[in-house]
Amino acid sequence: MLRQYHIRDYDFKLIILVVALTVIGIFAIGSAKDSSLQSKQIAGLVLGLFLMAVLSLFDYSVILHLYWLIYFLNIGLLVLVRLIGVEVNGARRWVNILGIQFQPSETAKIMLLLFFAQLIMKHKDEMHTFKTIAMCVILFLPPVALIYKQPDMSTSIMIVLLFCVLMLVGGISWKYIIGSVAVAIPAFVILLMLVLQPDQEIINDFQQQRILAWIYPEEYEKTTAYQQTNSIIAIGSGMLYGKGYKTNEISSVKNGNFISEPETDFIYAVIGEEFGFVGGCTVIVLLILISFECIMVARRAKDLAGTIIAAGVAALVGFQGMINISVATGVIPNTGIPLPFVSYGLTSLVSLYIGVGFVLNVRLQCKK
């Protein structure tokens, strides 16, 4: 499994980018909450770096031979959430095994990425056929359904986007892409109209409230839209350079408790308020550069599986970052999804570093 590599082929640029973004997150978490969470995030960084370094030296092609084991392990963990999951704030998304609590929906992103990388490569000459596409969709439905039932619509949407990217990179025929888009757009409009009806049973009531609060923020500014509205105000109040790290202004989002748990989904509001437009743009630029670097690795990968892994991590970081920041700035409804490498959450952080570890190994084996 271990191979001889050249140090010049190691992508230190990607490592510097992800560590820089994580360090910004650690500082923001320390300001948003307390030092105990900051210490845990630092421990997550250390663990993530260790796993990233180890996996970067293992031949990903050998690991991908275990793709069915990866798939069923992923399903098993998601089923455990349904059976013995820990419930927090009305959602059952965590499991506690031997005293270690983690979120399987976050690890599912990387595990599904690895599984479909190998599956698509094995059937790369058949990706234009309906039979192969249907097989991929059928295998994708169980994990995404288990995640949606937690309930976790935001992660479900993210995984659907990731799956679409994997299929596109895998070589799905354009006629299926055009046909899917032609059906998806009107279907989305019809679904949106249905979920806005008072007696709808398609989505949970709190999910409907979030959509309504996004459409009519002035009517929900004291209730459902409270956090999102305050997030927008906080980001705007930071102006160019921000109010300063760990600002003691009582009107800040953290000191005034205007956002619950600002260290997770709304960490960008803390960054925007304390580091201003410059700090907010720095985070966006780092996310773009990380995604771009992964795409460059994908273009030079030795095989289709490597291309899919690198492109998948690029999509995961790019899309998830875009969704989180869009929520914090009021562009889309509140979804509750973490900002990659920045938001507090050890499962999310370590899973992303595992993904980066695989990208680094793809880079080490790139075509010269």
* Per-residue model confidence (pLDDT) at position 294: 96
Length of the chain, please? Answer: 368
Spatial separation of the C-alpha atoms in residues 210 and 338, rounded to whole Å:
17
Answer whether residue 183 shows pLDDT above 90: no
Structure tokens belonging to residue 281:
């743009």
Answer whether residue 322 shows pLDDT above 80: yes
CA distances from residue 322 to 103, 158, 328, 338 in whole angstroms, order as listed: 21, 11, 10, 10
2 DSSP β-pair partners: 58
Provide the 3-class DSSP secondary structure of residue 66.
Answer: coil
Spatial separation of the C-alpha atoms in residues 228 and 209, rounded to whole Å:
13
Give 175-197 as a 3 state SS string. HHHHHHHHHHHHHHHHHHHHHCC
Q: Name the residue with higher pLDDT: 89 or 22.
A: 22
By the 8 A CB rule, do 278 and 240 touch?
yes
* Per-residue model confidence (pLDDT) at position 3: 65
Q: How confident is the model at residue 281 (pLDDT cuts 50, 70, 90)?
A: very high
Answer whether residue 48 shows pLDDT above 90: yes
* Per-residue model confidence (pLDDT) at position 87: 77
pLDDT digits (tens, 9 = 90+) for 236-270: 888 898 888 877 776 677 666 777 778 888 899 99
Average pLDDT, the chain: 88
301-320 b/e (C-beta count within 10 Å ≥ 16 → b)? bebbbbbbbbbbbbbbbbbb
pTM over 0.95: no
Exposure of 29 in the CB half-sphere (CA atoms within 13 A): 25
* Per-residue model confidence (pLDDT) at position 111: 96
Spatial separation of the C-alpha atoms in residues 230 and 139, rounded to whole Å:
41
102 DSSP β-pair partners: 95
Answer whether residue 2 shows pLDDT above 70: no
Average pLDDT of the residues in 304-324: 95
Answer whether residue 312 shows pLDDT above 80: yes
* Per-residue model confidence (pLDDT) at position 255: 67
131-166 b/e (C-beta count within 10 Å ≥ 16 → b)? ebbeebeeebeebbebbbebbbbbbbbbbebbbbbb
| Omega cis (within 30) before 151 | yes
Closest CA to 279 of 20, 18, 15: 20
Spatial separation of the C-alpha atoms in residues 63 and 124, rounded to whole Å:
19
* Per-residue model confidence (pLDDT) at position 223: 79
pLDDT digits (tens, 9 = 90+) for 56-91: 999 999 999 999 999 999 999 999 998 888 877 667
